[in-house]
Amino acid sequence: MNSKILISEPHITISYDIVEDILYADWTGDQTNQSVLDGCEKMLHCLKLYHGKMVLNDNTHVTSIWDDASQWVAVDWFPRMHKAGCKLFAWVYSPNVYSKLSADKTLRYGVRGVLATTFDSKDTALAWLRTMG
């Protein structure tokens, strides 16, 4: 992986691999409504900056429920990600059951334009992006 770290904060680290054209978001710790909104807006900014088409959204290190933000992510943020050029969104589940339920709740609202798929491992998610992209 030849990724460059773009943003590093306690709740999220965002990097970009210019060779593979993949934006990586590694979420960390307990997430709140505000940290999810902040991290998502930063992801959108980075995607626009690099004209990215693929995202690996890694929740492996998320330790809490964050479903307060799930509707906003689905109906507000995902459409803006699509408009910015995102086509593929590989979402790696957290081992935390409540975080996993938050991700599933987000996708149940329906995501249009972006093919968003969930995975249990980062390796599987990355392989999917490489195959689909």
CATH code for the domain of 56: 3.30.750.24
Residue (of 41, 51, 67, 57) closest to 18 by Cα position: 51
**Residue carrying structure tokens 């307990």:** 30
| CA pair distance 120, 117, nearest whole angstrom | 10
Pairing between β-strand 12-17 and β-strand 3-9 as defined by DSSP bridges: antiparallel
Is 7 among the domain residues? no
The mean pLDDT of 9-17, rounded to a whole number, is: 97
Give yes or no for residue 128 having a pLDDT over 90.
yes
Number of domains comprising the chain: 1
Is 78 among the domain residues? yes
Of all residues in the chain, what percent carry a pLDDT higher than 90?
A: 94
Is 52 among the domain residues? yes
Is 116 among the domain residues? yes
pTM of the model: 0.95
For the segment 69-86, what is each residue's pLDDT rounded down to a tens digit?
Answer: 999 999 999 999 999 999
Is 11 among the domain residues? no
Is 2 among the domain residues? no
- 3-class SS of residue 73: helix
Is 29 among the domain residues? yes
CA 79 to chain CA centroid, Å, is 13
Q: Which domain holds residue 111?
A: 16-132
